């Protein structure tokens, strides 16, 4: 989903420990050889995006992908491909920003758009949280509760979210140009935090829980608007995830909290979350069909 997701700790948590937890959310690993480019026609199904689509953390780790990407063998794109019987080129990668769609994210990680071509039938897109600095703002919300300094997300957060609209729209136009036959599907962010929060969201004050979720809802609004304006299909995952946020029990929740028992990656999708998102996307694709 994002470059880093959350800070852990409580009123007795030391600053070094909180920083260590935050750092562990950053991607690890050295560059590995780039994914082989498809033929000139492009892959049948191309998945584009950041860690919100790429990873289930320490579970189901895809050793064939660049280590930096933390890509999973059981992420939403893989599940969508299995359900629809499509050949997938999964280019999703941890920490990806919109610019990484068209330029190399780093040595060994090719531009995600390299997988597109005239034969591409389906493109799924889940990106923009890193550009909107969601991780930094979420960490600030937790830090303000842990250390009693700062505030949880002032007007700057909304400005950062609104600021992705232009580059997001440009990316959708470029996808349509590179894969003119493809159905483009944009999926939004699910429910992360329920009203009032919970102890598993260590340091997040009950009064700030709604602010965090409101920011993800705002991000959905911006992305949905761009998708609709450019002829893409927007898939809302928020409604299906109500009651399955980070405060739900393990095995039920779609999002791991700060005390991340399933993936070790706070504020990211659990395996149940990846399956749940796929179960929303697949019917939406089937309802409107795919190009031949």
The angle that helices 155-162 and 134-147 make with each other, rounded to 10 degrees, is: 170
Closest C-alpha to 218, from 254, 165, 266 = 165
- Residue of 4, 51, 72, 241 marked catalytic: 51
Rounded Cα gap, residues 152 and 168, in angstroms = 26
Q: Are the C-beta atoms of residues 94 and 50 closer than 8 Å to each other?
A: yes
Q: Say if residues 16 and 24 touch (Cβ distance below 8 Å).
A: no
Active site annotation includes 268: yes
Q: Which residues pair with 110 in a beta bridge?
A: none
Cβ of 172: how many Cβ atoms within 10 Å? 20
56 neighbors 255 (Cβ within 8 angstroms): no
Instruction: Please say if 167 is a catalytic residue.
Output: no
Catalytic residues: 51, 268
């Amino acid at each position: 989903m994002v470059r880093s997701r959350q800070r852990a700790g409580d009123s007795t948590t030391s600053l070094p420990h909180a920083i260590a937890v935050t750092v562990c959310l950053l991607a690890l690993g050295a560059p590995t050889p780039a994914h082989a480019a498809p033929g000139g026609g492009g892959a049948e199904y191309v998945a584009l995006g950041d860690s919100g689509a790429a990873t289930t953390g320490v579970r189901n780790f895809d050793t064939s992908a660049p280590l930096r990407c933390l890509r999973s063998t059981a992420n939403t794109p893989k599940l969508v491909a299995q359900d629809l019987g499509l050949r997938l080129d999964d280019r999703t990668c941890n920490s990806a920003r919109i610019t990484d769609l068209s330029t190399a994210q780093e040595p060994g990680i090719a531009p995600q758009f390299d997988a597109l071509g005239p034969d591409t039938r389906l493109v799924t897109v889940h990106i923009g949280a890193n550009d909107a600095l969601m991780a930094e703002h979420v960490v600030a919300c937790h830090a303000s509760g842990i250390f009693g300094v700062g505030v949880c997300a002032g007007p700057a957060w909304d400005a950062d979210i609104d600021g992705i609209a232009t580059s997001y729209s440009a990316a959708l136009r470029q996808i349509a140009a590179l894969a003119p036959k493809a159905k483009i599907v944009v999926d939004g962010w699910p429910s992360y935090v329920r009203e009032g929060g919970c102890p598993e969201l260590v340091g997040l004050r009950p009064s700030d829980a709604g602010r965090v979720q409101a920011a993800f809802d705002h991000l959905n609004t911006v992305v949905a608007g761009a998708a609709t304006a450019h002829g893409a299909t927007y898939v809302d995952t928020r409604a299906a995830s109500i009651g399955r946020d980070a405060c739900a029990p393990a095995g039920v929740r779609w999002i791991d909290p700060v005390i991340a028992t399933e993936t070790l990656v706070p504020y990211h999708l659990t395996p149940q979350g990846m399956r749940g998102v796929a179960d929303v996307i697949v019917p939406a694709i089937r309802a409107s069909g795919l190009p031949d």
